[in-house]
Amino acid sequence: MKATINDVAKRAGVSMKTVSRVLNKEPNVAVTTRARVLQIAQELNYTPNFAARGLASSKSYLLALMYDDPGPTYIMEIQSGAIDVCREHGYHLVLEPVKVPKSGLAGPLIEDLEARLKRLPVDGVILTPPLSDSQIVLDVLTRLKIKYVRVGPSKNLQAIRDKETGLTVFMDDRQAAFDMTEALIKTGHKELGFIQGHPDHGSSYLRLEGFQAAINKYGLIVPTSRIVQGDYTFRSGIAAANALLSGSNTRPSAIFASNDDMAAGVVSVANRLGINVPAELSVCGFDDTPLTRKMSPQLSSVCQPIYEMGHMAAKLLLSRGDENLPSVQAVDYKLIFRGSTGRYLKDV
Amino acid sequence: MKATINDVAKRAGVSMKTVSRVLNKEPNVAVTTRARVLQIAQELNYTPNFAARGLASSKSYLLALMYDDPGPTYIMEIQSGAIDVCREHGYHLVLEPVKVPKSGLAGPLIEDLEARLKRLPVDGVILTPPLSDSQIVLDVLTRLKIKYVRVGPSKNLQAIRDKETGLTVFMDDRQAAFDMTEALIKTGHKELGFIQGHPDHGSSYLRLEGFQAAINKYGLIVPTSRIVQGDYTFRSGIAAANALLSGSNTRPSAIFASNDDMAAGVVSVANRLGINVPAELSVCGFDDTPLTRKMSPQLSSVCQPIYEMGHMAAKLLLSRGDENLPSVQAVDYKLIFRGSTGRYLKDV
DNA sequence: CTGAAAGCGCTTACAG
DNA sequence: CTGAAAGCGCTTACAG
């Protein structure tokens, strides 16, 4: 049978409690005692019983990752980052897909969420976009007194900067979009086009803001016809590119799409129309998804450190009490230039 | 405070045990008693304590999904399918990423796996490729007496067909590749090229076998120079396409790549060489990943019902005892024809 | 620095 | 059809 804490205690000639102290790295154990217990635990191949610990301590040693379909790559990266931290702390990660209803009715969602969280009372929740902005979800968690961390929230950014919010990990989408736009302008582009993301996602607005701020800074003018609404899908990128490239007006020399899928749509339309990318048209995206490297020319984009965000999120949840860890964490992005902007033209 | 089973029992005027019976849907409870208990449980907003159940029953009510980077989309689909079944059974899904070392040394992997599984003794494990074929992993699970289901194993397929194996969910890669090849041939193609997948993945061989079987059936000849080794990456698809398309020999009229990423590489090379897809070259992939719809022309491919495989895997694990459920489950694939093969040319 | 006792909230194994 | 008792393997709250 599997060894229990009692087996270890007996063999070590100490009480159960002392073994518990050693294993939980509590202070106040004689060095020699600690060493002996540790060795015997190893000899017996002892590992504490998960359920028993949970029951006695009323902790679950579980963190939940809540998501509502923000794309498989994104979630997997967040997961990886979070899992690595969980491991260090003896925690595990469970998955909680959540469907936020498109239209008003929040009732069923709230009930469902509560039921699930009561069934499996996790010690903390990682919220990914768009859930990080869902007041409904935040309210439920607050009511159930479950700790949470918001990853990439896009609303209330001002409050975040003022640290009036809870645990948060975010990337400065606005600044990143600003930087990318500035890079395009500095390469000589004056005729810019922009494709906005899904109207329900806060990031859409932040990225647009960054774009416009750079435009303004350099005194350029972008007519409203050059700013097209998309919804983060490839298909919407196609539609937007058609509007931008095949009209009777002069076409832009560079298009900044709010994500990679839409940018891929632009490249695809350009190819069909015989517009050479990047010679006649520069294109860049956002998110630096794997897709950027699965097209020709490869796509310039903004790289979010998603793994790191997941890592930091779990860390914030599991390192409570560490005053050295600010509750709001900004992570760094990177501009990645590839063939599609022609700055550093690379072979595929 | 949160209600316990005792609160419900007292209020209902029955014993704890009876409440337990009702909640676990055990037989032998008077209908009226059952109804009363159920109602009171609801009034008290009672949900059983996860840890206490686990401790008392020595079950964990947890399933693990083990994976070694088979692609984010794949894992997310499997996850979704598995989670939906877990929910129905009051189970939860935890994630266990596993790194199988490239070269020989299995020691650390075995130790790590054992340590993790002893820490969190899940009630069952879902194994995804390439882990479904890892004898090391299978051995550890067997030794720890942990139930597992293999998803998409590619070795020992014969044994699988003979039902000499454990729980298994699989898709007939060989037959699917055969069908796709046959479809190309029936469209009139005689000069076929094939790009093989990663040599470490069993699916590479099965897909090649299917391709060759169809070639043989129709009495065609494919010189070895038309069968190129890839490794499932876009980059390897590029290299393979260069070998296939820019040599001095006549080029194939259709290329079947063993996965979508490589097929995307082929289309990309064709575009660069000015070879029109599908007019001059048909291309098809395998897996029907989102990438197929993020390129022009869109890619024909073989659609694996991945969600369904995850669903079935969890079902096999959680429905033990149900004799009506065969322990080996084959799921259906579908050939999806899009622009890249020109059979059903569609606008993007 | 260490330990004895109680208890977390369920299920199991019986008994009736 | 129902229940009383024991126990799962830890941690908490004390006491010393």
Q: List the CATH number of the domain containing B30.
A: 1.10.260.40
Best of B234, B288, B294 to disrupt the A interface (most A CBs within 10 Å) is B294
- Is residue B348 assigned to a domain? no
Q: What is the pLDDT of residues B173-193, one digit of tens each?
A: 999 999 999 999 999 999 999
For chain A, the domain total comes to 3
Co-location of A16 and A133 in the same domain: no
pLDDT of residue B345: 36
Rg (CA), chain A: 25
Lowest mean pLDDT segment, chosen from A176-185, B4-13, B184-193, B212-221 = B4-13
Q: For residue A69, what pLDDT is reported?
A: 79
B53 occurs within a structural domain = no
CB spacing of B296 vs A271 below 8 angstroms: yes
Which residues of chain A make contact with B273, given a CB cutoff of 8 A?
none
Closest alpha carbon to B106 in B66, B67, B134, B70: B134
The pLDDT tens digits for B59-82 are: 889 999 999 977 888 899 999 999
Task: Please tell me whether residues B64 and B112 are part of one structural domain.
Answer: yes
Task: Estimate in Å the CA B24 to C1' C13 gap, whole number.
Answer: 17
Return the SS3 of A181: helix
What number is the average pLDDT over the span A186-203? 92
A40 and A28, same domain (yes or no): yes
- Which is more confident, B324 or B39? B39
Query: Do A92 and B90 count as a contact with CB atoms less than 8 A apart?
Result: no
Over 70: is that where the pLDDT of A347 sits?
no
Q: How far apart are CA B259 and CA A60, in angstroms?
A: 41
Task: Please tell me if residue A50 touches chain B, with a CB cutoff of 8 Å.
Answer: yes
A344 pLDDT band, cuts 50/70/90, is: very low
Which pLDDT does position B33 carry in this prediction?
87
pLDDT of residue B127: 95
Q: Among candidates A222, A246, A243, A298, which has minimal Cα distance to A267? A: A298
For A309 and D10, how far is CA from C1' in angstroms? 34
Q: Is the pLDDT of residue A345 over 80?
A: no
In a domain, B87, yes or no: yes
Residue B207 pLDDT > 90, yes or no?
yes
Question: Is B323 part of a structural domain of the chain?
Answer: yes
The H or E element containing residue A169 is strand A167-171
> What is the strand order of the sheet A148-151 is part of?
A328-331, A167-171, A148-151, A124-127, A62-67, A92-97, B92-97, B62-67, B124-127, B148-151, B167-171, B328-331
pLDDT in tens, A93-126: 998 899 887 776 777 888 888 888 888 889 999 9
What confidence tens digit (pLDDT) does each residue in A286-316 have? 999 989 999 888 999 999 999 999 999 999 9
Q: What value does the mean pLDDT take over residues A69-78? A: 87
- pLDDT in the model for residue A27: 79
- Claim to verify: residue A66 and residue A43 sit in the same structural domain: no
Quick check: is A54 in a domain? no
User: pLDDT-derived band of residue B271, with 50, 70 and 90 as boundaries?
Assistant: confident
Q: Of the segments A168-172, A271-275, B131-135, B198-202, which one has the largest average pLDDT value?
A: A168-172
Q: Does B35 touch chain A (CB under 8 A)?
A: no
Cis status, amide bond into B199, omega within 30 of 0: no
Q: From CA B42, how far away is CA B270, in angstroms rounded?
A: 64
Residue B272 binned pLDDT confidence (cut-offs 50, 70, 90):
confident
Interacting residues of A76 by C-beta distance below 8 A, sequence separation 6+: B72, B75, B76
Distance from CA of A42 to the nearest CA of B (A): 11
Nearest-Cα residue of chain A relative to residue B265? A294
B222 is a domain residue: yes
CB B74 within 8 A of CB B46: no
CA A20 to chain centre: 36
How distant is C1' of D9 from CA of A306, in Å? 39
Does one domain contain both B177 and B285?
yes
Lowest mean pLDDT among A106-115, A220-229, B86-95: A106-115
- Tell me if chain A has a CB within 8 Å of the CB of B16: no
Q: Does A271 touch chain B (CB under 8 A)?
A: yes
Quick check: pTM over 0.85? yes
Compute the radius of gyration of chain B from its Cα atoms. 25
Percent of chain A with pLDDT over 70: 93
Q: What integer is the mean pLDDT of A29-34?
A: 86
User: Domain check: are A27 and A131 in the same one?
Assistant: no
Provide the CA B11 distance to its chain's centre, in angstroms.
47
The pLDDT, as a whole number, for residue A191 is 94
Residue B270 shares a structural domain with residue B251: yes
Token pair for A266: 């632009």
Chain A residues in contact with B118 by the CB 8 A cut-off are 2, 45, 47
- Which residues 174-233 of A are in CB contact (within 8 Å) with B? none
User: Which of A208, A215, A175, A170 shows the shortest CA–CA distance to A192?
Assistant: A215
Round to a whole number and report the distance in Å from the CA of B139 to the C1' of D12: 40
pLDDT of residue B346: 37
Q: What is the phi/psi pair of residue A280, to 5°?
A: -100, -20
Average pLDDT, integer, range A328-342? 92
* Band of residue B336 on the pLDDT scale cut at 50, 70, 90: very high
Q: Work out the angle at residue B193's Cα, subtended by the Cα atoms of residues B189 and B198, and round it to the nearest 5 degrees.
A: 140
Structure letter (DSSP) for residue A168: E
B285 plus B181 within the same structural domain? yes
Question: Rounded to a whole number, what is the distance in Å from the CA of B124 to chain A's nearest CA?
Answer: 15
Residue A348 scores a pLDDT above 50: no
CA A91 – CA B214 distance, rounded (Å): 50
Residue A343, Cβ neighbours under 10 Å: how many?
18
Predicted confidence at residue A163, as pLDDT, reads 53
CA–C1' distance B17–D4 (Å)? 10
Ranking A32-46, B226-240, B292-306 by mean pLDDT, the lowest is: A32-46
Strands annotated E in chain B: 62-67, 92-97, 124-127, 148-151, 167-171, 192-196, 227-229, 254-257, 282-284, 301-303, 328-331, 334-336
What is the domain-level CATH number for residue A261? 3.40.50.2300
Using an 8 Å Cβ cutoff, are A62 and B61 in contact?
Answer: no
Helix ranges (DSSP H) in A187-319 = 202-217, 234-245, 260-273, 306-318
Residue range(s) defining the domain that contains residue A90: 59-171+306-332
* pLDDT at residue A236 in the model: 95
Q: What pLDDT does residue B163 have?
A: 53
- Tell whether A310 is covered by a domain: yes
Q: Which nucleotide is nearest to B15 (CA to C1')?
A: D3
Residues 92-131 of B with CB under 8 A from A: 92-95, 97, 115, 118-121
Q: Are residues B200 and B315 in the same domain?
A: no
Q: Looking at the structure, do residues A144 and A246 belong to the same domain, yes or no?
A: no
Test mutation, A2, A4, A46, A50, chain B, max B CBs within 10 A: A50
**CA-CA distance, B209 to B206, in Å (whole number)?**
5
Q: Is the dihedral of CA A201, A203, A209, A212 positive or negative?
A: negative
Asked if the structure places residue A53 within a domain, the reply is no
Minimum mean pLDDT range among A58-67, B287-296, B317-326: B317-326
The answer on pLDDT for B97 being more than 50 is yes
Give the bases of strand D that a protein CB approaches within 7 Å.
1-5, 7-13
- What's the pLDDT at A346? 37
CA distances from B11 to A238, B4, B14 (A): 63, 11, 8
Judged by a CB distance cut-off of 8 A, whether residue B261 touches chain A is: yes
pLDDT digits (tens, 9 = 90+) for B112-166: 888 888 888 899 999 998 899 888 899 999 988 899 999 988 765 555 555 556 8
Amino acid, single-letter form, for residue A200: D
Whole-number average pLDDT of chain B: 88
State the Cα–Cα distance between residues A239 and A1, nearest whole angstrom: 64
Same domain, B124 and B204: no
The rounded mean pLDDT for chain A is 88
CB proximity B56–strand D (7 Å threshold): yes
Residue B177 sits in the same domain as residue B294: yes
